[in-house]
Structure 1
Amino acid sequence: MAPETSSGSPQRWSVAQIHALAPDPASQKAGTKLAAPGPWSETGTSPGANLLWGDCKGSGSKPYQVTVELSAPAFACSCPSRKFPCKHALGLLLLWSAGTVADTPTLPARVEEWLGGRKDRAQKAEARKAAVAEKAAESANDPEAARKAALAAEKRTAQRAGRIDAGFDELELWLTDQVRGGLAGLRGSGYRPLDGLARRLVDAQAAGAAARVRDLAPALSAPDWPDHTLRGFAQLNLLAQGWRRRADLPGPLAATVRRRVGLAPSTEEIAAVGEQVSDRWLVLGLRDDTPDKLVERRVWLRGEDSGRIALLLAFAPQGQSPGLALPVGSSFEARLAFAPEAVPLRAIVLEQGELQPSPADGPAPGGGSLSQAATAYARAVAADPWTTTVPALIAAAVPVLEQVGDRREWRICDAENAQTVPLVRPSAGETAMALGTAAKDPDIPRCAYALLAAGGGRPVPVFGIYSLSGFSPVTLWGEEGPVSLP
């Protein structure tokens, strides 16, 4: 089977862009060790086909067969690793980046077979979509079938709303009991009561509210814990009231309430009613979190002409790829649809062009100041009171060590106006960031040193997450291009 081709050879990615694909720091380190010709054989890349392959000697008698499609990108390896991409795929990409993989006009049989399998799966997926669409069209032409389907959907919606109502009844009673009995009792009772209430809310299909109940645990151990706990109580009560009165709310705010409760819109719903924006999108940053035994991948984009920031989400079981393997610093033409919420940030890709890795010496993206990030945060909270963080691109920032009261702490300094905010480690998590506890994290010096090393000690563009407790850096642009921070 002849591969789909595009004109010209694929542009080689930088080391930083390849490292951005690693599922965790351990895979990044292991992939770097394999970025040498020694363990590799039968390597090759197809000009114009955006394909890369090779065999890597492992501990077994047979080498691991690795294949990478660069345009998606997509990965395959015969190793047993559950990480995706695995260290072998990362090592092969680094080998190719260094220019030590030769162009090969003929594809190996195994690569052709892999491409054929991908094509078959894509065709089957399209066939399933067509079958669903055909069934929907048949129902639309059959009034009785359409009426029954609508009644069944309405019944399911009403049943779920009833379960959520019952869950919020219990939540409101629990909040009243905690305030009446005093917060000290809750603090002394440990995590188990919170976990029990959260589980019951999950059973009531209000997973978003359950997550906020679990967030009360770190609030109880935060500095000024009574204030943080009461703030958490207030947001839970506000969410319950928003759910009760969702029919009276403006459409975008009602959609926000439903998502905060746990009723996230499907991609089909977003595609049907969301605002659509076509632009060339720059990949600003990528971060993987692991809540509830899942890998949640967040990819932030910025439109070249629109200036819009978009958040793409993907999920997978731990150890598997959640998709969205978009190298930081790359760009692509695409049409996105934004979820119609009070703060439209989440988006889905409707149409996407070829991924273009940015050259290492390409211009850094323009950004704003910390003051502008604070203003954006205030506006987001005014529109969506459950907001805890906003993405922000700072034009020129550098970490500094400042005296704050009786201690010294690392802070991010905006070179434009010398304003500083606390440095928050990316892996601290949004809950800790919102509570202000991440500033005490003992690993923050490591994050600061990584910033200093990657930026050469000079103010550089930095993309990250702004919150009440400070700024969490995700990507910076140094002399060699974008660098994803640990």
Structure 2
Amino acid sequence: MVTPWSIEQVAAVAPDAASVTAARKLAVTGTWPVTGVCEEPAVLFGECKGSGATPYVALVDLAGPAWNCSCPSRKIPCKHVLALLLRWSSGSVLAAPAPSAAATAWLDKRAARAEKVAERAATPPRAPSQATLERRAERIAAGLDELGTWLEDLVAAGVSVPQGDDVARAAARLVDAQAPAIAERVRRLHVRSDDPSWPGTLLESYGLLHLLVTAHPRASELPGTLGAVVRRRVGEPTRTEVVLAQPPLRDVWDVVALHTDETSRPVTHRTHLRGRTLGRSFVLVETGPRSGTNPVPGTSIDADLHPHPAATDRALLGTVHTPAVPLEHAPHGDPAHELPLLWSAAVAADPWRERHPVVLADARLRLDGDGGWLLDLGDESLPLLGRSAARVCAAVAGGRAVTLVGDCTPRGLEPRAVWDGRRLVTA
């Protein structure tokens, strides 16, 4: 029988906390005349009576996972799907000999779409013409030249936080110049922090932007993959088929965290995977609404990952050889005292990196004397960012060494999850 998800796994796929709250109530008080779960095909289905005469049909393809509901909600997954998952996790959904008619029809449509996608992937896309590439290169070069002049004017006038309108105009011109990634960096320049170190952070942002402007014309001359990194950081796209053409890395991947960045535009979802044999971390990145194609935190999958040619920590999910199963042991991690070396190597490969996924096997936490928490690295320490997340980790640790999942940043470690001895707890 398909192993039910834990409550934490259900909460991890929710679009927001409000959806989880609504789903918990609906799972208990809602009327569910039809529910069932099948092992082959692995599908969960249910009908929930709402205010109308026709019940809402909630469906979950557990092999994906993917979800669908007949309700009008724009949230994906909606509260009905989440409530159905919660009922399943509590043991309230019984095994069914066959999926419902609605589930069968939906799975057939998904299979047909997947076949079309595979056909398109097998057909080499038409490469852009040389004239198109030259026009794009000219736009980017002109946009970066203008950005360089703007940065020089800002510094010449005295380093200060630029006005929001000036930043918006500069970012818009970069978008017009087909350099969207560097435009996103420019948009963040006008955000002033309460942190007393913000002037240094602002000056560092100016320096990194100027370094990109300077490096881009020489990208083809840079060693190793650094030229590709520069082009990606400016915003030159890498086509999906190029990434999927990279040699796959097959491993049993522990899905250790899911983080949604609501501040980015568009919203970005980062699924962190850690290889049991390879001992490497990769992130699957989605933008906009979640598609449900990436695996769920707290599970393990035997799958191929295709590493991004211009990003050491990003990949695309390839062939999944076996369905996801619950994670039953702590994920493989690096010694905590090696974190500075891991971060140094990551920044050497990409100087514009803002975060790097890590799993630390023997993390010890201690108070910093100001109500916050530090990651003890032996001779030094690193702040844990986000007091609420840090308190969760400290409570789970209880003074013991724990396996900690997070993102290393220039300011400290952003905790994402912690292993409590039985399961991953989202921070």
**Alignment TM-score > 0.5, same fold:** yes
For the aligned pair, the TM-score class normalised by the smaller chain equals over 0.9
Which of 347, 363, 367 is the equivalent residue of 1:381? Answer: 347
On the 8 A contact 1:310/1:347 being kept in 2, the answer is yes
**Secondary structure of 1:36's aligned partner:** helix
| Alpha-carbon separation, structure 2, partners of 1:448 and 1:371 | 19
Maintained 8 Å contact 2:67/2:292 = no
Distance verdict in 2 for CA 1:242–1:271, change over 3 Å? same
Aligned to 2:52: 60
2 CA distance for matches of 1:458 and 1:372?
19
Q: What displacement does 1:412 show?
A: 3.1
- 1:420-442 deviations in whole A, cap 9, x for unaligned? 322212xxxxxxxxxxxxxxxxx
Distance across 2 between alignment mates of 1:219 and 1:248: 36
Choose the corresponding residue for 2:22, options 30, 37, 43.
Answer: 30
1:35 CA drift (Å): 2.9
CA–CA separation in structure 2 for the residues paired with 1:38 and 1:81 = 17
Whichever of the two has the greater Rg, that structure is 1
Aligned partners of 1:377, 1:174: CA distance in 2, in Å? 31
Give the Cα–Cα distance (whole angstroms) in 1 for the partners of residues 129 and 225 of structure 2: 22
Shift in alpha-carbon separation, 1:285–1:292, aligned structure 2, 3 A: closer
**Equivalence for 1:91:** 83
Q: Give 1:200 shift.
A: 0.5
2-side partners of 1:304 and 1:230: how far apart?
40
Q: Is 1:413 matched up with 2:375?
A: yes
Partner of 2:33: 41
Unaligned 5+ segments in structure 1 are: 1-8, 137-148, 426-443
SS of 1:321 mapped into structure 2: coil
* 1:190-248, Cα deviation, whole Å (9 max, x unpaired): 21111111111111111122112122223576523432222111111110111111121
Q: How does 1:234-249 map to 2 (within 5 A)?
A: 234-249=207-222
Q: How does 1:78-157 map to 2 (within 5 A)?
A: 78-129=70-121, 132-133=123-124, 153-157=129-133
Tell whether the 8 Å contact from 1:42 to 1:55 is kept in structure 2 after alignment: yes
- State how far apart, in whole Å, the 2-side matches of 1:256 and 1:175 are: 22
| 1:484 aligned residue | 426
Match of 1:436 in 2: none
Which range is displaced more, 252-261 or 212-221? 212-221
1:430-462 C-alpha deviation (Å, 9 max, x unpaired): xxxxxxxxxxxxxx2x33333344455644211
User: 1:349-428 residue pairs with structure 2 within 5 A?
Assistant: 349-358=317-326, 362-397=328-363, 399-403=365-369, 408-414=370-376, 417=378, 420-425=381-386
Q: Residues 277-296 of structure 1 correspond to what in structure 2 (within 5 A)?
A: 277-291=249-263, 293-296=265-268
Counterpart for residue 257 of structure 1: 230
SS in structure 2 opposite 1:365?
coil
**How much does 1:323 deviate?**
3.2
- Structure 1 contact 222–228 (Cα < 8 Å) conserved: no
Matched ranges for 1:1-20 at <5 A: 9-20=1-12
Contact 1:315 1:322 in 2 (8 A): no
The 1-side partners of 2:114 and 2:22 are apart by 32
Query: TM-score, normalized by length of structure 1?
Result: 0.82
Q: Distance in 2 between matches of 1:419 and 1:57?
A: 57
Please tell me whether the aligned partners of residues 313 and 357 of structure 2 are also in contact (alpha carbons under 8 angstroms). no
Separation (CA, whole Å) in 2 of partners of 1:345 and 1:44: 39
Q: How does 1:202-351 map to 2 (within 5 A)?
A: 202-218=175-191, 222-272=195-245, 274-291=246-263, 293-316=265-288, 320-341=289-310, 344-351=312-319
- Tell me: CA distance 1:48–1:457, structure 2 relative to 1, closer, same or farther (3 Å): farther
- Once the two structures are TM-superposed, the CA of residue 31 in structure 1 deviates from its matched residue by 2.0
- CA distance, structure 2, for counterparts of residue 180 and residue 295 of structure 1: 35
SS of equivalent residue, structure 1 residue 35 = helix
**Corresponding position of 1:191:** 164
2:181, 2:233 within 8 Å by CA — same for their partners in 1?
Answer: yes
Over 3 Å counting, the alpha-carbon distance change for 1:207 and 1:18 in structure 2 is: same
Whole-angstrom distance in 1 between the partners of 2:79 and 2:273? 26
Percent of pairs with identical residues: 37
- Tell me if the contact between 1:463 and 1:474 (Cα under 8 Å) persists in the aligned partners: yes
Q: TM-score, normalised by structure 2?
A: 0.92
Matches within 5 A, 1:166-185: 166-184=142-160
- Counterpart CA distance in 1 for 2:319 and 2:25 is 37
Task: Tell me, in whole angstroms, the C-alpha distance in 2 between the residues paired with 1:242 and 1:235.
Answer: 10
d(CA) in 2 for partners of 1:118, 1:125:
10
The alpha-carbon deviation at position 347 of structure 1 amounts to 0.8
Unaligned residue ranges in structure 2 (runs of 5+): none
Structure 1 residue 321, shift from structure 2 partner: 2.4
Q: CA offset at residue 286 of structure 1?
A: 0.7
Tell me the C-alpha RMSD between the 2 structures: 2.3
User: Retained in 2: the 8 A contact 1:40–1:54?
Assistant: yes
Q: Structure 1 stretch 254-263 or stretch 305-314: which is displaced more?
A: 305-314
8 Å Cα contact 2:364/2:399 also seen in 1: yes
Deviation of 1:410 (Å): 0.8
Change (3 A) 1:388 1:127: closer
What is the number of residues matched between the two proteins? Answer: 427
- Greater relative contact order (CA < 8 Å, ≥ 6 in sequence): 1
Give 3-state SS (helix, strand or coil) of 2:104's partner: helix
1:389 partner letter: R
Match of residue 440 from structure 1: none
Corresponding residue SS for 2:28: coil
